[in-house]
Structure 1
Amino acid sequence: MQTWLLAGLGASLGALGRYHFTALYKRARPELGYQATLLINLSGAFLLGFMAASTVTQTWYTFLGTGLCGGWTTFSTLNSELGGQLASENFRRALRYGGATYGLGLGLCALGWVLGHRLF
Structure 2
Amino acid sequence: MKHPVDIHVGKRVRHRRWMVGMTQHQLAEKVGIKFQQIQKYETGMNRVSASRLWDMAAALSVPVNFFFEGLENHANEVDDGAVPSDILADKEALELVRSYYAIPENQRRRLFELARVLSDVA
TM-score when normalising by structure 1:
0.28
Q: Point out which structure has higher relative CO (alpha carbons under 8 A, 6+ apart).
A: 1
Q: TM-score, normalised by structure 2?
A: 0.27
User: Over alpha carbons, which structure has the higher Rg?
Assistant: 2
- Structure having the higher helix fraction is 1
